[in-house]
Structure 1
Amino acid sequence: MATATLRRAVPGSNRNRLLALLAVLTIVFGGVAAWSADHASDRNGSASAQNKALSDNARTSEVRGQVTNAVNTVFSYNYADVAKTEKAAQELLTGKAVQQYNQLFTLVRRQAPTQKQVLTTTVTETAVKSLGSGRARLLVFADQRNTRTDKNQTSYSAAVFAVNAIYANGKWRIDNIDTLAG
């Protein structure tokens, strides 16, 4: 009896229109769902989705800490024991960074003993730009204190540069130094 009442309330042409409308809505919503799924997979495959610096706090903290220690060590020296800094650099740097550092340190080897220089570098902040699959890029902000004990002079400066680091044998090592000189 309820079916007969429903059939009378919805004449045949209105029922066909309703079915057609439901079919169109089903196709439209299915298309939107497919487009959304495709769009979401594109985003998950993008560079930002692959950047663990945005999602892995522990790994980001690890690379920041180890690179901070490396920069503080490698860019600080005492004229009385320049070899100590050079030895540490060989352990904390790798690849192109070793060559870059050796070029920079040539002048230090010559001048530090005669000028009795003591350079102390203190990283004040690091920002991990990218992190993934054993590679990281960081922006480093540091304060430097340079003391010439032969003239009893101290100067202060700030430094900003980027480094690339690689993870090998359980630790992060700097493999490129970018002074951002343009």
Structure 2
Amino acid sequence: MGGRARLRALTAAAVLLALLGAGLLAGARYQRSGADTGNRALTDRAATDRVTREVGDALARILSYSAADTDATRAAAAGWLTGPAGDQYRGLLDRLRGWVGDQQLTLTSKVVSAGVIRLSGDRAELLVLLDQHATRAGGPPTVTAAQLRVTARLDGGRWLITDLESL
């Protein structure tokens, strides 16, 4: 191979390596800035644990009630629910109020499992599985399962539930 041919081959190899390097850098930059890496649920265990715990505690309180004291449940919900979730819950509780009293119903909800799907900034989306134990006056207790998609917002240092969707 002559001197000129060797120079062209080395130049072509250098250009190819430069392009390959630029491509790899661009790919790495894309991965770091992609949608998945913006999801703190994948990278921030402490924040994920906190939102899971706070939302789980809130759901256990607002989805547990007794015929003797629906006002306590309503007050708890006012402190944990905002936006559409608050409206949905008030509507549900208004419809159930008479029925709960007539049947002397007690419902206790327990979070079995909760997972954060997305955590970004002050917003979180979770999937929550609940066991609900219901007791009616004179009847045997029943256990049912519930699945919810929950949206929450960090407000004033605590996670508030903004939307609830039964799955």
TM-score of the two chains, using structure 2 as the length reference: 0.95
| Residues 12-31 of structure 1: per-residue CA shift (max 9 Å, x gap) | x5333332222111100100
1:99-110 alignment to 2 at 5 Å?
Answer: 99-110=87-98
| Residues 109-128 of structure 1: per-residue CA shift (max 9 Å, x gap) | 11112211100000000010
| Residues 54-79 of structure 1: per-residue CA shift (max 9 Å, x gap) | 00000000000001001100100011
Bigger radius of gyration among the two: 1
Alpha-carbon separation, structure 2, partners of 1:41 and 1:110 = 58
Could you say which residue in structure 1 is the equivalent of 2:148?
161
Alpha-carbon separation, structure 2, partners of 1:60 and 1:164 = 13
- The 3-state SS of whatever aligns with 2:82 is coil
| Residues 119-155 of structure 1: per-residue CA shift (max 9 Å, x gap) | 0000000010000110000000010000002x23211
- The answer to whether 1:175 aligns with 2:157 is no
Amino acid at match of 2:17: F
Alpha-carbon separation, structure 2, partners of 1:15 and 1:58 = 62
Alpha-carbon separation, structure 2, partners of 1:17 and 1:133 = 56
Alpha-carbon separation, structure 2, partners of 1:177 and 1:15 = 73
TM-score of the two chains, using structure 1 as the length reference: 0.88
Could you say which residue in structure 1 is the equivalent of 2:119?
131
Alpha-carbon separation, structure 2, partners of 1:135 and 1:100 = 19
| Identity level (%) | 31
Aligned match for 2:72, one of 79, 84, 88: 84
- The answer to whether 1:27 aligns with 2:26 is no
Amino acid at match of 1:64: T
Alpha-carbon separation, structure 1, partners of 2:98 and 2:17 = 73
Could you say which residue in structure 2 is the equivalent of 1:7?
none
- The 3-state SS of whatever aligns with 1:153 is coil
**Aligned pairs, number:** 167
Could you say which residue in structure 1 is the equivalent of 2:139?
152
